[in-house]
């Protein structure tokens, strides 16, 4: 028997004698010093960091203490969850984290609505995962959320059948509110905040349907700005108006159609440009080559390298999104050396030298 064979036999015997040590490693450990449970009106959020030496995959389960047990969202070694309590009281929250080897750890804490910044609204389902509204026959909203981000996209009703809830002006960080008088003047049928408690950048692939017929808009940014959305109807949801949502904010269903709202809310002065979405831009300067090239129909404006779309025509302005090389855009106008563009549901500005134009045969970018 060779030396290598002897070592192999010894290794096999060790594994047989100590299977747990060889195959499972150690259990995950919660970092209780950085664990947090916070609340803002009727939304409770939980953040529970942990470590696991062997880097196994993990599954978390959260018992909120009111009969509701939900899977927790595990991201970057942190268990996250959010919940709405329907009744004031004191609840024991229990989190069980299990790794792929079967080892688990449990953490408990007590949450009281009496000592926290918490309020119960008996007239609403409250803040919940958007997809959880789908099973409520009385709900005025339905949502389609990709499974990969289902536990990261939340909805909070702000207006139900034209009646505003108590949440206006009292919202969790990062969520929107109805604060645009021109929108309020149109007649709000339904409104819902769409937000994330986990830092998700955007609700890509999410569609939301609100009960009623009208025009959809999304209030985004600070100060709130309306973005008009294209709508669709689903045979499975008669009486609902639906829209795809690519940004977090406040989704509003109003009674007037988009053209009437644009005309009444933002009257254009002579020479101004009013885009299809209602954005008002100053008149074109005497020299606007990119606009002219696009108007020929033979040339397509595309990005030159990776390019930020800015909220304002300034390098110091916030970045709305970043585009890859050769990404097509639509030019709506020009301010100084900046083109006003529309792309992927965003309206913003790109510096003129960061766009190029592909004409003729090369205009078919795909």
What is the tens place of the pLDDT at every residue in 211-246? 888 888 888 877 778 888 888 888 888 889 998 888
| pLDDT classification of 152: cutoffs 50, 70, 90 | confident
Domain ranges, ordered by start, for the chain? 29-112, 128-261, 276-363
- pLDDT at residue 350 in the model: 93
Find out whether 217 and 254 touch, Cβ atoms under 8 Å: yes
Fold of 276-363: SH3 type barrels. (2.30.30)
Residue 278 pLDDT exceeds 70: no
> Rounded to an integer, what distance in angstroms lies between the CA atom of residue 75 and that of residue 68?
22
Mention the CATH class of domain 29-112. Answer: mainly beta
Strand order in the sheet with 346-351: 319-323, 307-310, 346-351, 338-343, 330-335
> Rounded to an integer, what distance in angstroms lies between the CA atom of residue 221 and that of residue 234?
29
Question: Would you list the DSSP string of 144-201?
Answer: E--GGGGGG-EEEEEEETTEE-TTTT---TT------HHHHTT-EEEEEEEE-SS--S
Domains 29-112 and 276-363 in one fold:
no
Report field, pTM of the whole predicted structure over 0.75: no
The more confident residue out of 264 and 220 is 220
């Amino acid at each position: 028997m060779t030396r290598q064979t002897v070592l192999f036999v010894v290794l096999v015997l060790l594994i047989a004698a100590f299977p747990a040590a060889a195959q499972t490693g150690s259990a995950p450990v919660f970092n209780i010093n950085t664990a947090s449970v916070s609340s803002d009106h009727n939304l409770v959020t939980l953040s529970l960091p942990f470590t696991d030496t062997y880097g196994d995959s993990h599954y978390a389960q959260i018992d909120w203490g009111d009969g509701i047990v939900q899977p927790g969202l595990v991201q970057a070694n942190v268990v996250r969850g959010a919940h709405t309590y329907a009744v004031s009281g004191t609840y024991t929250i229990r989190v069980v984290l299990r790794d792929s080897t079967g080892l688990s750890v449990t953490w408990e804490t007590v949450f009281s609505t009496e000592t926290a910044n918490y309020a119960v609204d008996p007239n609403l389902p409250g803040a919940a995962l958007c997809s959880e509204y789908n099973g409520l026959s009385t709900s005025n909203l339905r949502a389609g959320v990709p499974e990969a981000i289902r536990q990261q996209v939340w909805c909070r009703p702000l207006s139900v059948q034209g009646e505003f809830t108590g949440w206006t002006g009292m919202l969790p960080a990062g969520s929107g509110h109805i604060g645009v008088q021109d929108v309020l003047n149109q007649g709000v049928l339904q409104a819902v905040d769409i937000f994330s408690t986990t830092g998700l950048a955007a609700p890509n692939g999410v569609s939301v349907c609100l009960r009623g017929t009208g025009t959809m808009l999304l209030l985004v940014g600070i100060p709130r700005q309306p973005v008009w959305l294209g709508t669709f109807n689903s045979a499975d949801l008669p009486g609902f108006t639906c829209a795809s949502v690519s940004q977090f904010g406040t989704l509003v269903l109003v009674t007037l159609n988009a053209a009437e709202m644009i005309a009444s809310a933002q009257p254009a002065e002579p020479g101004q440009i009013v885009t299809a979405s209602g954005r008002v831009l100053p008149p074109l300067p005497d020299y606007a080559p990119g606009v002219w090239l696009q108007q020929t129909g033979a040339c397509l404006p595309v990005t030159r390298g990776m390019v930020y779309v800015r909220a304002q025509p300034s390098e110091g302005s916030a970045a709305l999104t970043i585009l890859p090389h050769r990404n097509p855009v639509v030019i709506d106008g020009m301010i100084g050396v900046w083109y006003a563009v529309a792309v992927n549901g965003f309206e913003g500005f790109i510096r003129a030298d960061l766009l190029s134009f592909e004409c003729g045969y090369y205009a078919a970018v795909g």
